[in-house]
Structure 1
Amino acid sequence: MERVAALGLDVGQKRIGVAGCDGTGLIATGLTTIRRKSYPQTIEELRQIVVDRQIEILVIGLPYSMDGTLGKQALHIQKFAATISNALALPYEFIDERLTSFEAEESMKAARISLQENKELIDRKAAAIILQQWLDQRRATRA
C-alpha cells in the first residue's frame, strides 16, 4: 500500500485549521490551528508541519456558495493556495468545504463542547473533515 502524506487546511481570515492523516490514508485527524498573524509566520508554521510530517500534497477547503458558485472568500483562498503552494514547493488540490464547519460544530454540540470557547477546535475538526473527504474520494477512484 502506498504511503499517503497529505495535509488538510481549513483556511479562514483569522485562523487555519490543520489536519493530517495516517500513512495509509484511511483516517484524517485534526492536528493544530494556526493563528494568522503575518504571512511569514503562517508560512513558517506550515513549513514546520510539512517537514515534520513529510507532507507531499496540500488539501485545501474551497468555500463554494450553496448554489455552487465561487464567491469573494473562495477567490481569496485560491490566491492563498497558490501562494503557499509556491512557498512550500508542494502541489495542492481543492475540496468543496460547504458545511464542513457546520458539521464540525454539530459534532461538538453532540459532545457538549462549547463552541464559543473552542473556535480553534472547530477549525481543526473542519480541516479533518476536508481531508477525510479527499481521502475517501481518492480511495473510491482508485478502487
Structure 2
Amino acid sequence: MNEDTTGRILCLDLGEKRIGVAISDETRTIARSYQVFKRSSRAGDFEQIAHIIAENCVNLVVVGLPTLADGGEGDKATWSRDYASDLASSIGISVELWDESYSTVDARTSLGSRGIPKRRKKDRIDAVAAAFILQSYLDAQE
C-alpha cells in the first residue's frame, strides 16, 4: 500500500479496446466514474493517462487485476501486471494492482437498476467498473 494517505487516486479498468477511468475524492473516501477512452498504443494510452493525472492532481494509480474464478491468475493478469509496470515507469508515480473480480457485473447491475439506455450503458460500463474497483480499494484501506 502507498504510505501517502491523502490526494486523489486514479483507477483504470483495462480492456482490449477501452480503458475505464475512475477517480477518488481528495480524502480517498469516495470513488466516482470519470471517463472511458479508446485504447491506442501503450504510449498513446500513457499520454492520455498522464494528462488525466496532471489535470486532477493524482498521486496514486490503481489498476484492476483480473483473476480467475479459483483466485489464480491467467494471461490477462500477466498482461495487466506488465501494463501497470510500464505505466509506473512512464508516469513516475506509484501504481498498485487491485482485484477487479465482478466489477463489470456490478457495473452492469448498477447501470441497469438506474434505467440507463443500452447505448449509454455501453459507453459508461468500463468507467463504472473502474469506480467499483476503486471503491473496493478505498474501503480496504480504512
TM more than 0.5: yes
Matched, 1:65 2:68: yes
| CA contact 1:105–1:115 (8 Å) conserved in 2 | no
Partner Cα distance (2:118, 2:77) in 1: 24
Question: TM-score of the superposition, structure 1-length normalised?
Answer: 0.91
Q: 1:54 offset after TM fit, Å? A: 1.4
Matched, 1:13 2:16: yes
| CA contact 2:111–2:121 (8 Å) conserved in 1 | no
Matched, 1:26 2:29: yes
Question: TM-score of the superposition, structure 2-length normalised?
Answer: 0.91
Partner Cα distance (1:67, 1:115) in 2: 31
The root-mean-square deviation of aligned C-alpha atoms, in Å, is 1.3
Moved over 4 A (4+): none
Partner Cα distance (1:119, 1:136) in 2: 27
**Are residues 22 and 117 of structure 1, via their aligned partners in 2, closer, same or farther at CA, if it must alter by over 3 Å?**
closer
Structure 1 partner of 2:128: 125
Unaligned stretches of 5+ residues in structure 1: none
How many residue pairs match? The answer is 138
